[in-house]
Structure 1
């Protein structure tokens, strides 16, 4: 079994386990658990060690606490709260891009979802914290166990990753912050409707940092539509026999199909970020649809509204990438691409 096959199988098993735990325990926002597990299992390179997983959990706890403290500030001093939020998002995106850390998305999710949930209902913050903890635990545990049971053969050191210079990282961080903030503001006005949109926008903000203006439209909008297609097929399959076990199996099948392209077991014309974002988008479509069905709401109406919203957000992200690239080119005519090796990596 090749390294790519093992990674795709690891993603499928981890997604299935996260689905079983989240929906079997009836956690609040169960699809958030699945998204966090997917984010951890899509991380390139070796599995996340348990010590680093504990550190990540502690950082998440601090961000959750910070998000709770932001709630009264956003409610009573909105301008100051939004300015602090924008600054912290910029710092998170900047640090993540400078260190080429794909787990930045997890941290940004924690810091944006918690204040929005707190504005809606204080009790929701504790429930979301449980979802974050379970998602990180499942993703880290499956990654560590699979590496122990199916270890990868030793391989030569990989080539240096194309990481941006500090100046370029600042532009990428500005891009991510400007993509996330408008939807964050909208979510404060209607948390229940825009909660899923926050997750989608954070994923787009991270993905936008890995593409340029030329291919941004195809990747940002295309991955959104691909995610909608995966969610539609999964929902159609689940409707044949609605049960927890079928939900787990369909979730594993979707993860295996997307993972085979993400890790290179199946060759496609799209980069790994396209497929990871498509799988995350599928969960952001599918999870609320399950909740709509359980509460007696129209699944098709909700899916249509979310599809319109997500495509609109993807188009906005594309426009923001294009506008900032044009602005940067005018301010710095000789500026290099943000996706070049820094001196430390060369």
Structure 2
């Protein structure tokens, strides 16, 4: 009688799968990073999220291990810049500037998570190395561990929620060489001054340099008119989400609650990042808010665990992030005015970097 009765099977559509993979995969990466006692767990989580947020096939575990090894070699070379910074500061800064220019320039021509990883790493490692060689090595291990976490959690999420169909690949807009050079120069001029400031006080500006790297990456797709809303708005949104997650975590301070609130926040951001809930903001806005959430909340959790004054540190961090966003906005405005003066055609349609 009941054998012919077929109940409808729930089907999760493709965009919702992307959101669930980001939220659940990010929660899994967070639980692993903190549960395995990584030295700088929020940096590992940041690397994992950069990989998880990219639509498309998951990074295979074998490739993830190889990529982590290659990344360790590439960013480990940043440790060699520390003696150069201490003894030949001008030469070291020129090398860092050239490296940033190359990353931004390549990022205007093609989009790949590895470029985002290199950008964060290339700015973070010298700052950590100036504070201490041991901290620099911890950051290198955290970055490589984050890549492996991203590969493992991404593979598990694709097994749990496979793609219903092959996602079409949109042809990326590639700017001309002149525009690509200009956008790369603009990115360097946004990141390098804050890097100089961070080298003077690495302990204070460690999170700020990560924030600046992401803003310099985001700024490649913005003009002066939209920069304030995009850069400052995404920064304040990420900080607001971090505050809500902190209040939720205070109800029951535990790794499971931390994982729960981050998972919920990632799902909320993912609905907008993948356009399930259309907004006037581009995906880069929501991606930057996600990054701000991680680099704002992660250090606060570590401050709490070490007995530091969380409120004071959070206020200082928010002031730094807001100041960096305002500086990036002002830099975009001034540089666009300069280019329009010498090149009336100005930069054509902005392109996304990295």
Task: Give the TM-score taking structure 2 as reference length.
Answer: 0.91
Q: Quickly say closer, same or farther: Cα 1:296–1:7, change in 2 above 3 A.
A: same
Corresponding residue for 1:134? 145
In the TM superposition, residue 288 of structure 1 has moved relative to its aligned partner by: 1.2
Alpha-carbon distance in structure 2 between the residues aligned to 1:23 and 1:52? 24
SS at match of 1:333: coil
SS at match of 1:209: helix
Corresponding residue for 2:104? 93
Corresponding residue for 2:190? 179
- Larger Cα-atom Rg: 2
Corresponding residue for 1:344? none
Alpha-carbon distance in structure 1 between the residues aligned to 2:159 and 2:303? 39
Match of 2:83 among 62, 72, 77: 72
Corresponding residue for 2:125? 114
Alignment of 1:5-16 (within 5 A): 5-16=16-27
Corresponding residue for 1:230? 241
Structure 1 gap segments, 5+ residues each:
342-346
Q: Quickly say closer, same or farther: Cα 1:336–1:302, change in 2 above 3 A.
A: closer
Alpha-carbon distance in structure 1 between the residues aligned to 2:345 and 2:64? 41
Does residue 308 (structure 1) correspond to residue 319 (structure 2)? The answer is yes
> Bigger shift: 53-62 or 103-112?
53-62
Alpha-carbon distance in structure 2 between the residues aligned to 1:247 and 1:86? 37
Query: Is the CA contact 1:67–1:111 (under 8 Å) kept in the aligned structure 2?
Result: yes
Alignment of 1:148-297 (within 5 A): 148-155=159-166, 157-297=168-308
Query: Is the CA contact 1:221–1:311 (under 8 Å) kept in the aligned structure 2?
Result: yes
Q: Quickly say closer, same or farther: Cα 1:252–1:181, change in 2 above 3 A.
A: same
Stretches of 4+ moved more than 6 A in 1? none
Query: Is the CA contact 2:220–2:351 (under 8 Å) kept in the aligned structure 1?
Result: no
Structure 2 gap segments, 5+ residues each:
1-11
Query: Is the CA contact 2:336–2:346 (under 8 Å) kept in the aligned structure 1?
Result: no
> Bigger shift: 185-194 or 150-159?
150-159
Alpha-carbon distance in structure 1 between the residues aligned to 2:351 and 2:196? 33
Query: Is the CA contact 1:169–1:338 (under 8 Å) kept in the aligned structure 2?
Result: no
Query: Is the CA contact 1:50–1:140 (under 8 Å) kept in the aligned structure 2?
Result: yes
Query: Is the CA contact 2:108–2:351 (under 8 Å) kept in the aligned structure 1?
Result: no
In the TM superposition, residue 335 of structure 1 has moved relative to its aligned partner by: 4.1
Alpha-carbon distance in structure 1 between the residues aligned to 2:316 and 2:57? 39
Aligned-residue Cα RMSD (Å) equals 1.9
Query: Is the CA contact 1:43–1:103 (under 8 Å) kept in the aligned structure 2?
Result: no
Alpha-carbon distance in structure 2 between the residues aligned to 1:87 and 1:219? 27
Alpha-carbon distance in structure 2 between the residues aligned to 1:72 and 1:302? 30
